[in-house]
Amino acid sequence: MSTTIVPGTPGAIPQISQIPEAVIRIAGNSQDGIQAIGGFLARLAGRSEQEVMTFMTIPSTISGGPSIFQVRIGSGEVLSAGDEADMLLAFYQHSYDNHLGSLRKGGVVLYDSDHVKELLPENLSKYRHVGVAISGLTVEAIGGSGRDKGKNVFALGLLARMFDLSVPKLHKLLEERFTGKDPSIVQNALNCFNAGYNYTLATAHELFRLKPGENVGHNQVVMSGNEAIALGLLAAGVRFGAGYPITPWSDIMEMLRRELPKYGGTFVQGEDEIASVSMAIGASYAGRVAVTGSSGPGIALKTEALGWASMAEMPLVIIDVQRGGPSTGMPTSVEQSDLNIACFGGHGDSPRVVLAPSTVEDCFYTAIEAVNLARKYSTPVILLTDQGIATRIEAFPEPDLKKVCQDISPDLSPIADHKPYDLSAADGITRHIAPGTRVASGKYPVVTGLEHDELGHPTGSPKLHIAMTSKRRSKLQKLGRELPVPKVYGPSEGQILLVGWGSAQGPIQEAVKTARAAGEAVSGLHIKYINPLPEGLEQIFEGFRHVFVVELNDEGLYGYGQLAAVLRARYCNPKIRGINKVDGLTWKIREILDRARALAQ
């Protein structure tokens, strides 16, 4: 928060500082609606042509409990949710005690003086303290019902004052949020907000104004990664899905269950993950790529069926929203430890495609690509996201839906003859015809998990097993050659190349920027297509002395994380090493750089 002083507004607190971006951490209990304040701020940023990224923790107990929501709003590029907060909004003593450390020195802590009573003297000199009786004033604002429900909206008013946010836009967001409800609810919300906004922040020495956003002219949409995936699947033409609830995948299935009927589609809650993947495969076989998904433990249950889809070469999209594992592990924490199961999980040689989106926008488009790849290569495709990207909110330019939406309904017109596993097909790719298609030759295909001949009938012939195994492998090697070669972020030569995948892209790019600003020769590389890998990576690696793979998973028995191990196996290049952690939190820029510098010693 580097500040430029602009002349004060008459009658108000004298000093308003213009700032390019702000990191605000809201700490309280989840039942106080702190996610809602964060959501309002994110959507406001989206409507103000600003960039925004959020980070939240979900309490692991049902009844709620301590939770945080961090929002980073910037007029320029926002690549991560921020290492340190500029402002902490603390609702309780525990929020104050546990999160003060996340505030940068000199940052502002805005606290509810009705709940936060113990302020350590050494903190008073380190951070600017602004106490407001948030609970009491909320009760007052809504007419003394004795309950402080609505204090989140009061606090939003305070923040609007503190950061000079657009009041008309926030009023509109509040109204939209509560439309359809009792009008008195809308009025209460507005009362709370206005009371917060009009509170004279006399103890704050400084107010802030965010620089106008630079994304002018773009219509922005604001959503979470999970929402973007669900909407991407709808745009891709998916009309059938099946799943079993598990955090953090459930949001996607809930949204698809709500939305699909509008498009004539169905989402089924299966009795378990095996049933769900099987229903999805059945529906894919019936002619239209279907989707299933889960998180770690449920993905493990799906692997036998995945092997079938690989063998039968059935298109299918499987979403894996990773969380801390193994087993029930750390269900509400972020981790990237399912790369191995995604690429290799299962029995036998069972090639499949694995993709990992890096941003919320990328979730939307990658969901469409997953469907298109499943169709084009007649293969299961796993889309790997993680708890971090699933729940974080970002703004991105609104897609041109008329162009993006696609129709993937099956062609059921009669056909002269058909061999799904045709070994002489010029492109080497299997093509299924859906049941309902009449074959004039009278010879109908069977799809099967047994090794088979070109019509799908079982065979024990070693020759055919060799030919078909190679067919299943070759089509993905062909895809590997078609994949776009990833671009280096920063110069293509230097000391250190930071390689990442999935949600690590933002933090890595920000780390690169920070290091470059300090004169260090650091670049970044993001790998989106994990299996198969694109070509040209070894040439990229040649430009650097060190290649560090930054992953949220364990360093493993031999010192390499999961992607690092794949890259080492593929390139036999000893300069590939790993930077790993499993603390359940996304990367901090400082962490990446400290670890990279130490490793490069």
Partner 1 sequence: MNSLAFPFVPLNRTGSIPLTPVPSLPDSDRKPLTKKEVSADHPTWCPGCGDFSVLALYFKMIEKRKLWHEKITTVAGIGCSSRFPYFVQAHGAHYIHGRALPFASGISLSRPDLHVFVFGGDGDAFSIGGNHFNHTARKNIKLTYVVMDNQVYGLTKNQTSPTSPLGRKSKTDAWGSADRPINPMKQAISAGATFVGRTSATSPNHVLEMMEAAMDHDGFSFIECLSECVEFFPGAFDAAIPRKGGKFELIPPSHDVTDEYAAYRLSDNPWPGQFGIFYKVNRPTKNASEAKIIADHRAKVTGLADWQILQKNFDRMK
Determine the Cα–Cα distance for residues 423 and 356; give it in Å rounded to an integer: 31
CA angle 539, 544, 547 (to 5 degrees): 90
The reply to whether 449 sits near partner 1 by the rule CB under 8 A is yes
Q: Give the residue, chosen from 414, 460, 462, 574, that forms a contact with partner 1 under the rule CB under 8 A.
A: 414
Long-range contacts (CB closer than 8 Å, 24 or more residues apart) made by 372-377: 372/236, 373/479, 374/284, 374/289, 374/315, 374/316, 374/317, 375/289, 375/315, 375/408, 376/429, 377/315, 377/353, 377/429, 377/475, 377/476, 377/479
The reply to whether 416 sits near partner 1 by the rule CB under 8 A is yes
Beta carbon of residue 479, minimum distance to partner 1 (angstroms, whole number)? 9
Of 84-92, 101-109, 279-287, 586-594: span binding partner 1 (CB under 8 A): 279-287
Residues 227-246 contacting partner 1, CB under 8 A: 227, 231, 234-235, 237, 239-240, 242
The reply to whether 279 sits near partner 1 by the rule CB under 8 A is yes
Q: Give the residue, chosen from 19, 78, 283, 579, that forms a contact with partner 1 under the rule CB under 8 A.
A: 283
Instruction: Please identify, using beta-carbon distances, which residue of 220 and 385 lies nearer to partner 1.
Output: 220
Q: What strand order describes the sheet that includes 316-322?
A: 266-269, 240-243, 291-294, 316-322, 380-386, 353-355, 529-531
Beta carbon of residue 571, minimum distance to partner 1 (angstroms, whole number)? 23
Are 221 and 46 in contact by the 8 Å Cβ rule? The answer is yes
Of 14-22, 80-88, 358-366, 566-574: span binding partner 1 (CB under 8 A): 358-366
Determine the Cα–Cα distance for residues 109 and 96; give it in Å rounded to an integer: 8
The reply to whether 291 sits near partner 1 by the rule CB under 8 A is no
The reply to whether 171 sits near partner 1 by the rule CB under 8 A is no
The reply to whether 485 sits near partner 1 by the rule CB under 8 A is no
Instruction: Please identify, using beta-carbon distances, which residue of 293 and 325 lies nearer to partner 1.
Output: 293
What backbone torsions phi and psi does residue 232 show, to the nearest 5 degrees? -60, -40
Determine the Cα–Cα distance for residues 475 and 203; give it in Å rounded to an integer: 67
Instruction: Please identify, using beta-carbon distances, which residue of 287 and 324 lies nearer to partner 1.
Output: 287
CA distances from 93 to 65, 89, 113, 548 (A): 13, 11, 9, 40
Q: Give the residue, chosen from 28, 33, 38, 46, that forms a contact with partner 1 under the rule CB under 8 A.
A: 46
Instruction: Please identify, using beta-carbon distances, which residue of 39 and 324 lies nearer to partner 1.
Output: 39
Of 61-69, 91-99, 372-380, 470-478: span binding partner 1 (CB under 8 A): 372-380
Max intra-chain CA distance, the chain:
89
Instruction: Please identify, using beta-carbon distances, which residue of 239 and 577 lies nearer to partner 1.
Output: 239
Beta carbon of residue 224, minimum distance to partner 1 (angstroms, whole number)? 10
Q: Give the residue, chosen from 110, 130, 223, 552, that forms a contact with partner 1 under the rule CB under 8 A.
A: 223
Q: For residue 465, what is the enclosing H or E element?
A: helix 462-482
Q: Which two tokens stand for residue 258?
A: 């709500």
Each residue 309-328 as x (binds partner 1 by CB under 8 A) or -, in order, gives ---x----------------
